[in-house]
Amino acid sequence: MTELLVEPQWLASHLSDPDLRIVDLCKAEHFAKHHVPGAVHLAYEKLVAKAPPVGGLLPDRDDFAALVSGLGISNGQRIIAYDEEGGGRAARLIWSLHAYGHRQVSLLNGGATAWLNEGFPLEDTVMERPGSTFDATLDDSVIADFTYVSRALNQSQCALLDARSLEEYTGARRNAEHGGHIPGARRLEWTDLMDRSRNLRLKLPAEIHAQLQTLGIDPAQEVIVYCQTHHRSALNYVALKWLGFERVRGYPGSWSDWGNRADAPVASGEEPG
């Protein structure tokens, strides 16, 4: 089974592996300045589809297959993804690959921050990789759409986890027609998963488990994660899977979908105690 999280030291010792592909989801100017040797760049906007006012949708199968193939990646290869923001964009690639049947993918723990600050090798040249063939097969076991989330409300075996800020959760800041959160959702802001003393690595498992326990979320439940567009919440998805949660789903579109629907119930106000 492929490890979902790898350390910079591990990647540094495997840079020459022929079946390894490294995908950089940093901002373009960051990638142009320096990046992990051999990495190919993927602009985040190419990874998501839009149907305004809804953003952060999963591209259709053919578009996604063409995107991954264009990076020189085929189904038999292992992918290491990273970014410079703490893992959100890289985690969204991981979730998208899971959604299209590819599980040989890992997050570089600490991403570009750890790699740079800890003195690992960098390059500024762009490696041209020939196109490959990636076959995408939808795996909807990691996807929750509006209908699925609606049916999950008030079910004890299912938990909703909001990765947004407190202001978004309470409705004090509104980024859709309606402000607030999905009824029953608990909140674990994506940045609260990051250990700033360890170059933006994920916090240690015991720390994250304690956070989840405080929220009343345990591995026996199915957990649906969301944010505004399933960018930030993709990191929550990866963290939960890394911790051994077997049933985790991401909500593509997230609040940009739920919060713009007239038929969606909305809760607002403070977090439950």
β-strands 105-108, 5-6: how paired?
parallel
What's the CA dihedral at 29, 32, 33, 38 to 10 degrees?
140
Q: Which amino acid is residue 110, in one-letter code?
A: G
Output the six-digit token pair for 266. Answer: 């909305």
Active-site residue, 158 included: no
Cβ neighbors of 216 (< 8 A, separation 6 or more) are 159, 186
Q: Give 167's Cβ-side CA count (13 Å radius).
A: 4
The residue from 193, 227, 239, 240 that is catalytic is 227
Measured CA to CA, the distance from residue 86 to residue 134 in angstroms comes to 27
Catalytic positions, written as ranges: 227
